[in-house]
Structure 1
Amino acid sequence: MAFLPRALLLSLMAVVCIELSGVLADGPDRCWCLNTLKKRVLREEIEEFSIFPRRSKCDKVEIILTLKPANNTTEVVQRCLSPETKQGMNLQICWNRKNVNNTSTFKISNCF
């Protein structure tokens, strides 16, 4: 008799875990950009950028720049740019105007 309630409880917990894993897979559970650059990054140094709108777990727009490798390295360097800077606002305008396919990243050459 005691086995049936435990089995039901275990089944219920499994269903809840499966449902929650689907919800969490939709996006990050926090903001990616904890610190943002307030100064301008030279256009020649930027390879591509991504813009992430506000989400349920992050209440700010995030702009992530992927910089070109320096000194013949293969290291990928990413920096967060403040969306309130002039460069950040210009990138958002370009993104909204030209990103018709809703891609996750955008080449900087498409904006200039």
Structure 2
Amino acid sequence: MAILPKALILLQLAVVCIQLSGVLAQTVPDRCWCLNTLKKRVSKEDVEEFSIFPQRARCNNIEIILTLKPANTTTTTEKIQRCLSPETKQGINLHNCWQRKNTNSTRSTVKMSECF
């Protein structure tokens, strides 16, 4: 009879671990998203919005991801994303803007029009 309570405790522990692993998998990316970054300036007219991701457990880099406005074609509405080096002058300016707009750490994306 003593085996049943131990089995229930192990089952509950397994359920909690599975639930926590699902939460962590959603919030912590496996690696850096930006493997290559742009070192040159991107025209602000071409950028719709940008996201900044601070250093994380599995990525030691600050990542700036630009979402470019769609090209003037009627065949595709796919948005193109490019990584910008945070060490460029534009990257520093965008990071400063993001910090001003993201005072309560709830936003990851900022519209380019909010900065300039």
TM-score by length of 1: 0.82
Match of 1:50 in 2: 51
Task: Name which of 107, 113, 116 aligns with 1:109.
Answer: 113
Distance 2:50 2:40 in 1: 16
Match of 2:28 in 1: 27
Match of 2:96 in 1: 93
Alpha-carbon offset, residue 15 of structure 1: 4.5
Distance 1:20 1:35 in 2: 29
Aligned partner of residue 49 in structure 1, secondary structure? strand
Alpha-carbon offset, residue 16 of structure 1: 3.3
Partner deviation per Cα, 1:5-43 (whole Å, 9 max, x = no partner) = xx67x8365553333222222221111111111111011
Structure 1 runs (4+) deviating above 4 angstroms are 12-15
Match of 2:86 in 1: 83
Aligned partner of residue 25 in structure 1, secondary structure? helix
Distance 1:17 1:99 in 2: 32
The one-letter code sitting in structure 2 at the alignment partner of 1:19 is: L
Match of 2:17 in 1: 16
The one-letter code sitting in structure 2 at the alignment partner of 1:38 is: K
The one-letter code sitting in structure 2 at the alignment partner of 1:98 is: K
Is 1:60 aligned with 2:61?
Answer: yes
Match of 1:74 in 2: 77
Distance 1:99 1:13 in 2: 37
| Unpaired stretches in structure 2, ≥5 consecutive residues | none
The one-letter code sitting in structure 1 at the alignment partner of 2:51 is: S
TM-score by length of 2: 0.79
